[in-house]
Amino acid sequence: MITQSELLIIKRYLKPKKKEGILKIISIFSFLGIGLGVATLIIVMSVMNGFRTDLIGKLLLFQPHILIYEFDSFEKNKKKIEGILSENKINHQSIKLSYSIQGLVISQGINKGTNIRAITKNDFLSDKLIKKSIIEGKLKNFENNYASIGSNFAADLGVTVGDKITILSSTTESTPFGNIPEQFDFIVGSVFHSGIYEFDSNFILINAESSPDFLKKQGANKNIELKLNNPDQAQKVKDLLEENKFKVFSWIDNNKTFYDALLVERNVMFIILTLIIIVAAFNIVSGLTILVKNKTKEIAILKTIGFSSLSINKIFFITGSFIGAAGTLFGVVLGVLFSYNIEGVRIFLSNVLNIEIFPAEIYFLSKMPSEISIPTILTISGIALAITFLSSIIPSIKASKINPIQSLKYD
């Protein structure tokens, strides 16, 4: 509980006199240092969250969150998987049958290895990520002997929408000349551009329902694909399915190096930028220490007229904490506003400086990503407040231990 007299003294200490200009400067630098540190941390974390979401979204364009292989009946296993997810209250987007096949594409005398993914037309049309990636052709063309091909792949083969490609399957057929790979003709129905080089250069999508001849010997390449509402739950779901004797891969297993790199980078940036707040907090220590030194006589008088050591402690602790809390609030507001408008800031700076900031051909993203996370903001704010509170403790304890008799002895 703060008394009226304590509050009055705190207000006076937060507004130093003109002759105490150094205290004013230190207080301003403490406020700005903490505010800019918090804002920078929020902005960087928001951009990194945005990068992570966009890159993982593109990475998972042609990868399921969970891939189940070596099973018998699709419908029977689908019901079993749905039961496991429901029992553990895990939400999912879809459970679908697919084929993952390797083959060789021939077109206009050019041969190129490829990864063929066969899915149903309904799954193709309902996938929002795939819809966003189609740059040529129409979604409705995904039927009969039509295929959707990556943009880089199409450029390498020199084909466009409506052209024919021949796929040599990994399966063989007997002929008088021996076993030779089976050949199947497809028409390019659409071209997609995911922004991930591997997919745009190597992947082809075909309709599983209208390609029975192509798929009839591909039972070993049959999979159940599971997409979750939250991709970060993939490891948990994998563990649950493995407990129920399923053979499972998660997207994290397939991209472990990439996933670990993102995680390490995010944590390292968080630690490095937190140091900005810690450095700014030292200004609070310096400011309060100087304030205590300058106010030694006043503190002695306050103790003489009845202020307890606890009251003196509270006065200086709250003074330092107020600067830190105000700086944190300022930083949160600035960081959130900047994060929300970061693409506009990028465009403005690009126009003013006449340079391309964040070029799409390098980062594979058309705009600066930003994703504000409330838990992240609360964590940053909590850390900033904790640091400033701790920084205020030592000077306030020092102030409360001043001996009024010794301080006034020579005055």
pLDDT tens-digit profile of 322-362?
888 888 899 999 989 988 888 777 777 777 777 776 665 55
Residues 288 and 380 sit within 8 Å (Cβ to Cβ): no
Q: Does 78 have pLDDT greater than 60? A: yes
Unique residue bearing structure tokens 């507001």: 333
Q: Is the sign of the CA dihedral 83, 84, 89, 92 positive or negative?
A: negative
* pLDDT at site 111: 81
Give residue 145's Cα distance to chain centre. Answer: 39
d(CA 335, CA 243): 44
- 35: part of which helix (H) or strand (E)? helix 21-59
What letter does residue 148 receive in the DSSP assignment? Answer: E
d(CA 404, CA 246): 76
Strand partners, 81: none
Residue 238's nearest CA partner among 62, 88, 126, 60 is 88
* pLDDT at site 333: 92
Residue 316's nearest CA partner among 330, 302, 306 is 302
Unique residue bearing structure tokens 């964590």: 379
d(CA 63, CA 217): 23
Residue 298's nearest CA partner among 410, 399, 397 is 399
Residues 169 and 101 sit within 8 Å (Cβ to Cβ): yes
- Across 92-101, 139-148, 294-303, the highest mean pLDDT is recorded for 92-101
Unique residue bearing structure tokens 């979750």: 228
Predicted confidence band of residue 314 (pLDDT cuts 50, 70, 90): confident
Among left, alpha and beta (phi > 0; psi -120 to 50; other), residue 6 is alpha
Q: Where are the domains of the chain?
A: 4-56+260-408, 66-254
* pLDDT at site 139: 74
Predicted confidence band of residue 46 (pLDDT cuts 50, 70, 90): confident
Q: Does 38 have pLDDT greater than 80? A: yes
End-to-end CA, the chain? 33
What letter does residue 379 receive in the DSSP assignment? Answer: H
User: What is the percent of the chain where pLDDT is above 90?
Assistant: 1
Q: Does 213 have pLDDT greater than 80? A: no
Q: Does 19 have pLDDT greater than 60? A: no
* Lookup: tokens for 306: 């009845």
Residues 142 and 205 sit within 8 Å (Cβ to Cβ): yes
Q: Which runs of consecutive H residues, i.e. helices, occur in 354-408?
A: 360-363, 374-400, 404-408
d(CA 53, CA 59): 10
Q: What angle do CA 285, 287, 290 make, to 5 degrees?
A: 105
Residue 104's nearest CA partner among 94, 116, 93 is 116
Which three-class secondary structure state does DSSP give residue 140? helix
Query: Which of 23-27, 87-91, 257-261, 405-409 has the weakest average pLDDT?
Result: 405-409
Q: Does 364 have pLDDT greater than 60? A: no
Query: Whole-number mean pLDDT of the chain?
Result: 79
Residues 284-291 have a mean pLDDT of 74
Between residues 360 and 52, the one the model is more confident about? 52
Residues 385-395 have a mean pLDDT of 83
* pLDDT at site 225: 83
* Lookup: tokens for 406: 């010794």
Query: Which of 61-65, 93-97, 156-160, 225-229 has the weakest average pLDDT?
Result: 61-65
* pLDDT at site 358: 65
* pLDDT at site 363: 58
* pLDDT at site 162: 85
Q: Helices H, strands E: what count in the chain?
A: 17, 10
Q: What angle do CA 114, 58, 148 make, to 5 degrees?
A: 40
State the helix-helix crossing angle for 374-400 and 256-294, rounded to 10 degrees: 30
Residues 111-128 have a mean pLDDT of 79
User: What is the percent of the chain where pLDDT is above 70?
Assistant: 86
Neighbours of 325 (CB within 10 A): 17
Predicted confidence band of residue 201 (pLDDT cuts 50, 70, 90): confident
Neighbours of 357 (CB within 10 A): 13
Unique residue bearing structure tokens 């301003």: 28
